Amino acid sequence: MINLGSYLAISFALFVCGILVMIARKNIIAMLLGIELILNASALNFAAYTKFTNNNLDGHIVSLFIIVIAAAEAAVGLGIVIRFFQLRESIHIDDAATLQN
Amino acid sequence: MYLNYLANVGRYIPELLLVVLMIGIIILETTYAEDEKNKKYVFILTCVGLVATFASLVANMSGKAEAIFSNSMIIDPFSTVMKMVMVLGTLGAVYLSTISKDIYESLKTEFIIMAIGVLIGGMILASANNMLMLYLGIETLSIISYVMASLKKNDERSSEAGLKYALFGGVSSGIMLFGMSHMFGVLGTIQFSGMAANIAKLDHTQMLIMMPSFVLFFAGIGYKIAAVPFHMWSPDVYEGSPTPVTTFFAIVPKLAGISALIRVTMIFFLTPSALRVGWVGLMMIMAALTMTVGNVTAIGQKSVKRMLAYSSISHAGIMIAGLVMINDIGVRAVVFYGITYLFMTLVAFYVTSIVQDKYGNDHFERFQGLIYRYPFMGIVMSVVMFSLTGLPPLAGFVAKFNILNALINSKYYSLAIILALNSVISAFYYLKIVRLMTLKTQESNEEIEGFGFLNQVIIIVMTAPVLILGIFWDSIMGLAEGAKIFIK
């Protein structure tokens, strides 16, 4: 039986995975993927809440916007990563440490 | 339905003007970029456009609060005042970008285009009236900011700043969105007014879901205004970005975040509830931590730019402290603080930027003996430093006094004491610059080119409000009073 609870459980699992990726992985591309996981978790939440509890379209619209914005953010993020790679020849987050003192 | 959007077109003319201006500059840049002479016209066009936006915002001041676009945005005096401050900040940063050597000549137009983009995002954020517009505002603001931070594309530090900003920003806006989704689920709508009405009807289980959701939501806004513990990106990004970009970041995104925080607080938590207690507690802790960590860390810095970054963190803390009592006196004090913060920050960054351009770096030693060589600039910088510390009779004193007054009025004595102690700590590093400028002699006799007459005039004009607001502050407080949030 698929109810609201199952959707919320999946989205929570996605969210936790995203946070764990951000903490544990050192590869910048993987970290960008982690951000996508977090955004998708919330998009799923919005859609699920609209389907099961709220009788308005707000949630569907928000999840559509989230997909668009996730794409924009990934484009900008990858652009910056490419520039960083050209300068450092590395996509390891530990190499981004010149600014700390 | 469609005609409704046209009927109140008068209320969103400022945003329309900025969008047209942005498109116009993009077309100019792509069509006539080869000729060096055209750069000047781009700058003049930007100034005209921003001044026109400012004028239309002034014209909007007189109207009463009105919700447009099916209630998704609200145009009221409060958001208009915050937008005016942001437009002035952008104008200041744009002029600084034209004289700064920290941005490549060929990228100056791009800086202007992106600054206007961020400004549009900030304006959406300031008048957001539902969750979707709030999120869109924050993302418009952030995504363009990531690119701005890495504007010096052959510089490792700048790319690194952009990278850190993008990663931290992506995670925190995702976290905020996750909190938002649960708020939407429990409260049933994304409209602020509907959500606020439903908060009173929550039962115990729903309250348990809402508590962590609001914490997550607060994390997203706290990230945007660089509140501790979400401030880790801020010093790195401020130091790595070119100086005009840093100036811009210290003003526009920060004030946009503050105005979003003010609106959310004033809509959701006017009536007493368990959530309000939690939110106020969260803001108190955040304010105290932000002020203290910002100030204490600023003491040890070698680079003036990094020092100013930490000091802007502590100023954000003071502005959050003005919100914990959730009443009009506090909001008025915060709006006034925002106005004075704009001018003080602009002057401090202008002087730092020019000194950095002349000497190649911005370490404290570069300010030695500045007052003997450029008396006006030395005096102006000292005035601003005294004002940032909060000494009378300057604007910074009045601003801090208003917030202290609001805190003591509502009996938040502990926070008031922390704020006063922090002013003392901040005196240490602000006055260090004054001491270096006046008491030390310059380290070398090497002749450097001057500040330039026009730049000096502009810096002095920007300092004038710091002096004037310190004495004649009633009139601008009247403006801030008109800016109370009208939500019923």
Q: How many domains does chain A have?
A: 1
CB contact under 8 A, A45 and B131: no
> Is A85 within a domain?
yes
User: Distance between terminal CA atoms of chain A?
Assistant: 55
* Residues B182, B193: Cα–Cα separation, whole Å: 17
Q: Which residues of B touch A54 (CB under 8 A)?
A: 184-185, 188-189
Helices (H) and strands (E) in chain B, counts: 20, 2
CB contact under 8 A, A49 and B181: yes
Q: Which of B427, B267, B398 minimizes the C-alpha distance to B339?
A: B398
ipTM of the complex: 0.93
Q: Which of B139, B163, B189 shows the shortest C-beta gap to A84?
A: B163
Phi, psi at residue A65, to the nearest 5°? -60, -35
CB contact under 8 A, B162 and A49: no
The arithmetic mean of pLDDT across residues B230-235, rounded, is 84
Give residue-wise pLDDT tens across range B106-148.
788 889 999 999 999 999 999 998 899 999 999 999 999 999 9
* Residues B172, B180: Cα–Cα separation, whole Å: 12
Residue ranges making up the domain that contains A60: 4-95
The 10 Å Cβ neighbour count of residue B117 is 20
A47–B contact, CB cutoff 8 A:
no
Between B328 and B170, the more confident residue is B170
Decide if pLDDT at B329 tops 90: no
CB contact under 8 A, B174 and A87: no
Which residue of A lies nearest to B239 if distances are taken between CA atoms? Answer: A99
> Is A38 within a domain?
yes
B window 225-284, beta carbon within 8 A of A: 236, 239-240
> Is A100 within a domain?
no
CB contact under 8 A, B236 and A84: no
User: CATH no. for residue A26?
Assistant: 1.10.287.3510
Supply the Cα-derived Rg of chain A in whole angstroms.
17
From A20's Cα to the closest Cα of chain B, the distance in A is: 11
Distances (CA, A) of B389 to B201, B428, B435, B461: 45, 9, 14, 21
Give residue-wise pLDDT tens across range A31-75.
999 999 999 999 999 999 888 887 788 888 999 999 999 999 999
Q: Which of B139, B147, B161 shows the shortest C-beta gap to A99?
A: B161
Q: What is the reported pLDDT for B488?
A: 35
Q: Which residues of A touch B240 (CB under 8 A)?
A: 99
Give residue-wise pLDDT tens across range B396-422.
888 888 889 888 988 888 889 999 898
> Is A25 within a domain?
yes
Decide if pLDDT at B38 tops 80: no
Per-residue b or e along B218-229, where b marks 16 or more CB atoms closer than 10 Å to that residue's CB: bbbbbbbbbbbe
Give residue-wise pLDDT tens across range B469-478.
877 777 666 6
> Is A101 within a domain?
no
Per-residue b or e along B154-188, where b marks 16 or more CB atoms closer than 10 Å to that residue's CB: ebbbbbbbbbbbbbbbbbbbbbbbbbbbbbbbbbb
Q: Which residues of B touch A45 (CB under 8 A)?
A: 178, 181-182, 184-185
